[in-house]
Structure 1
Amino acid sequence: MKKINLLLCIALLAFGFGVSAQQTEPVGPFTVTTAATVTKMPSIASRSELIPSVDKPVPMQDGRATKNKIIIGKGSKGPDALAATKHRTAGTVPGRMPNMVIETALSNSQPTDPSGAVGPNHYFAVFNTGFRIFDKDGTPLTAQLGTGNIFPASGCCDLTVSYDNLANRWVVSFLGNGVQIAISDDSDPINTEWTVYNFPSISDYNKLSVWRDGYYVTENTSGSTKLWVLERAFLGDGSPDPAAQMAGFELPGIVTSGFHSPQALNITDDNHPTTGGCPIVYLQDDAWGGVATDHVKLWEATMDWDNTANSTVSAPLEIVVTDFTSVFDGGLFTNLAQPNGGSDIDALQATIMNQAQFRKFGSHNSGVFNFVVDTDDTAGELAGIRWIEIRQAADGGAWTLFQEGTYTAPDGKHAWHASMAMDQNGNIGMGYSGMAGPTTPTDGSADLTLSSYYTGRYAADAPGTMTVEETLIAKGSGDIPGTRYGDYGKMDVDPSNDKGFWFLNEYVGTSGRANVLGVFQLAPNLPNDTGVTSIDAPVDGNLSNAEQITVTIFNFGENEASDIDVTYQIDGGAVVTETFAGPLASSTSAQYTFTATADFSTEGQVYSVTAATDYSIDEDNANDSTTRDVTNIPAADVGVVAVTAPTTGENLMTETVTITIENFGSVAQTGFDVTYTLDGAGAVTENVGALSIDPGMTGMYTFTTGVDLSEIATYVIEATTALAGDADATNDSASTSVTNLSCLSYDSTDSAAIGPNSGTVTETIIVVTDDFILTDVNVTVDITHTWDSDLTIELVAPDGTVVELANAVGGSGDNFTNTVFDGDAATSIADGDAPFTGVFAPSGDLSTLNGLTSSGDWTLRVTDNANGDGGTLNGWILQLCAAESLSVPEPFLVGTELQVINRGDNQFNISLNTTEFNERLDLNVYNMLGQRLLNHRLFNDGSGYDYDLNMSYAAKGIYIVKVGTGDAGKVKRIVVQ
């Protein structure tokens, strides 16, 4: 990477609060060129034979999947402040059912890369390996077609599509011999000819945006050039100019976690600015090296196509935003657990999501964009969406932060993979993916499976607030296969009415993995329409017999509304009616407090309150009312809801006991006693001291006295609160079972042929002389074989019990490469993809072996069930665990040594020197509670594996460094001082 010296003089600029700039000089283009080839391609309609699309079901191991890098302990801590302080109107305005929902593609590509654009008469949907075109009623006008129907060169993936509303042209790009960009001759994508430009320099994650003077393409690259601009030039007949130039720029001062995903703002409609550069935005997380505070960087690219040497990218502007955490699982690529037992899938961290949008209004210009954040301040994850609107007062003016918010889905669900845009009224629509999170109820009251949703806000709503309730676009039918998901979606605004939002997303439909389009609108449909959207007071608490009732009234109609009757009733009783005088403008809300009070004084009672408008000229009564339960909560009531540490593991010693306490009452509590016991004895009582827990909140308390778990055994730890005057003793305590495990691994390095004849059985035996009672069994196999689905792999215990590890999985894929079968794994082997590398749950149940004795002959049986393909069993490992002390043999990669060199100042070099093993390995760093703090993928550089670990921001203490695949690996302890 070319290095630019930056003068990091950060100051508050006169033109806006929360914005600073690095005082560097603008940079000119690194290169100016024309396309390597320019090809005129015929229309789709003129082709005598169309080329169908072909899926690429093997997971795409692109740059985004392998490069995340963070520093342990560095970065923002605590809960997301914006998620924790929502405005009272958040999620209270009813959303309308989508106008249209269709599946635009069935695709087994991993991921499907959904993107689409809407024009005057068509919807153009692309996916990872092709496209399909529809009319605006959802009728398909083509089959699923391959890229060769538009592009002259073959290639793969990352298709994007935009509609240039001012030029009335479609712009399509994909990766094929670099990037190819196809621009249509007119607005009919079926009958138009295409001019296709090929630029070999762009290689990964190309994202294209339309600006007034060019088509701006950002890419993921370790090279200097992060931004490319294709001249937006047309000939006299309106067709694209084959001689259009392209310029490449760096983005000075950009810092990443290893993956680059800046976005250029895309002009949503046909109202282009008359001057000013194209804004490029990217998040900067203070968990990354070289970033001091969380912020958004913004550059402006200004083109002079008459003299390209005058073209520049500005010094970066730093837009200061509220602290956020964009890192999941220490940078691990797969991190969101699917609710039906499928594999963990990607949260798409460290990525500005497609597409950042620009819109010009009479009084200002706006830019909107979003990225995923972790809103859970514990070791777990809860994905939310940080969304941002920036503004400039006039074309070419300074950009400042206007508003920001963190959207979290109801019922504790994950919300991520979002796309957003603004309609002509300044309303924001945001589509996203949602699925069950760690606290989502499983009693049927909440949606669980990954599905497509939308939310939004009206222009006059409280800043930072998505007021539209979560509204379902399409409910998924199951978990996403594999780990790769989405990569990006796309929100577009209909140019026909400038109100309709068209959102394309990925899910599993009734026929399999698919992309689904939902069309919805926020702007009013009817002249006169009002309703009560929320009951704001009273709220749950210690209530009286004379509580005031406050509601929010929303005007859903196009006309101003006045003299609106408003009603409430409690538990179906008498209706109280009063009048809100108004006036209330279209798409705005106002609070109204009734003069008549109500009795909520019975402690512990739940009251049902219904409020509504009774507007004489209302044209839609479906949105008039809302109901809310209000509870009179006792003042004093706390209890332990979980013992969060210690947890089951190997080689436990004196461990820390941490508990989670919840305040079920209506008054903040502090200074009470808590107790824990071990196996019902040896009570340890301490006072929580200054720990204060507000009503409805939880707090963590860690005992100063640890618990001795050094003996190999299973223990029960119970913890209890003792609050004076506690109203409910039934919720005071919680317990957990913790086992100190000891494990032995037994290797078989015997090589044996598999197949190739159908019915051939290959068996190898590991003889275990150690005799102990099993509590856990895991198996690692290394098999070279074409057509994995030919194989059945089984483990046979000494008593004859057979556990099926895998059967007919992997299709035509090859090999089981150090594949670990572990019954606790999140991903089933049936949901994995060949070559199988990593940790999978077997198709059978290994826990049936628990309780057996370890000694005897353990047999790995591999049956080849088809002719023609053969292979070799290279070796296998049997791991047996017990609740008793076992001697531990040499672990993973016998003959190699994991070296940790302390270079001082809590900087460590981690290396594993080997030329015998070349598979990708995972480096994981854990604290002594077993929480993963960092994950980074390592590759053999020819002499081994190497990583520089920065622990200078980590808390003092002992940490575990593990390098390996799945559960097998080399382990070292390090001490941070």
Structure 2
Amino acid sequence: WLPDGAQRFSTQTSANIAGGFEWGDYNGLSVVNDKLAMIWTDNRSAATNTIVGTVENQFGSPTFNVLATPNTVEVCANDTGLSVQLDMSAVQSYPGVITLSESSTPGFVTGGAFSVNTLAAPFSSDYTFDVDASGTPGSATITIGSSGDDMGDIILRSTDITVNYSSAAPGASTLMMPTDGASGVLLSPTLSWSADANANSYLVEVALDNGFANVVDSATVTDTQYTTAVTLLPDTEYFWRVTTDGTCGAGVTSAVFSFSTSDLLCFTSGSPIPDNDPTGLTFVGSATETGTLESLTVSVLAEHTWLGDLIYTLEHSGTTITLQNRVIGAVNPPFGCNGNNMDVIYDDSSGTTVANACLEDGTDPALSGTHSPDDALSAFDSVEFSGDWSLNVTDNASADTGTLTEFCLFPVFEEAPACDPAPPVGDPDIIWFNGFQCVEPAP
């Protein structure tokens, strides 16, 4: 049986039920204003279809809604004539008269008024207000109340307007990380600085000169940290600064800090990773630069489906650590992350662990950014850098395959200590202290 005007979506007969009856799974019910939306899945063997139907909500009562546009306003002390549009809409032909009012306002808001105060929906009203100089920088809320009267049946509604208050133009931020003169900084560093209460945004700039004639990266952000969008050059000095901006006007440019990036040694592989092979691929890179490691960061670039199959280890001078061991995912934790491809930096100082960083939402590469390894790279601290570095990767399940593209080492070396006591100038002997040459021999 079908009611007048209704349309049958399908005339197929279920393969599982005789007699011409159709069947499906009921999946949900939603209320959309004055209607109910119902969803079924037709799961017969021939096809799977989703069916959506709506019916009028006979049991819902007429009412109204109120919408503020915009619902967030940036203001400066002593601004006047600020305006927000309030739109009143009727649900199920609500017949009542609606009255608008200020339910609550911050102390710095004055002169609030409505262009239309009382009317039946639908209608729009411009809410205007001023602000004085008594506010404190930050966010506050104006709550607009609306009261509907339908023959004595009262309905109350409200909507909030966020007011971001600034008392003056912002001052200068203080640069925090990297510290001025820092060395061994990663090639995609995260820069951070102090917040200013009156700032809405910050322009961060990175340049090759302290006059900023050669800017290599810049961005306007609302946060107080920024990770460079470009990969910086290794073993290079950079300069950076931050300029504030706010509702009350342009701000001030910070002091200029400098930092030097880490040395970079990359080894290109291009070798396939053996599928489901416990021996895996071992790729050896040889470092000729000498020095005692203060810290080490490592990056790996590889193309491989189902990253949860892979285990990476790094060996040098008899020490072996695990960089990552079958990273997990949210969809199939027992079987590892099903995401594809990786371009990841392993850094002990990262606040996120690589074990939980793999994405399964189609992002390519599924594993990227900077994360701490399973075993700490500090195992190589105070070790001589030169010599062979062996990266081993094993694939521990069948079917998915890939290639190791390259791995890179970012060493930071210990600085030579000063000789104490200092040897006399012109000493004909070569003076050594803790393994470092302090004074060149006299000619």
Query: What TM-score do the two structures reach when normalised by structure 1?
Result: 0.26
Q: Larger % of strand: which?
A: 2
Greater Rg by CA: 2
Query: Relative contact order (C-alpha < 8 Å, sep 6+): which is higher?
Result: 2
Please report the TM-score for the alignment, with normalisation by the length of structure 2.
0.48
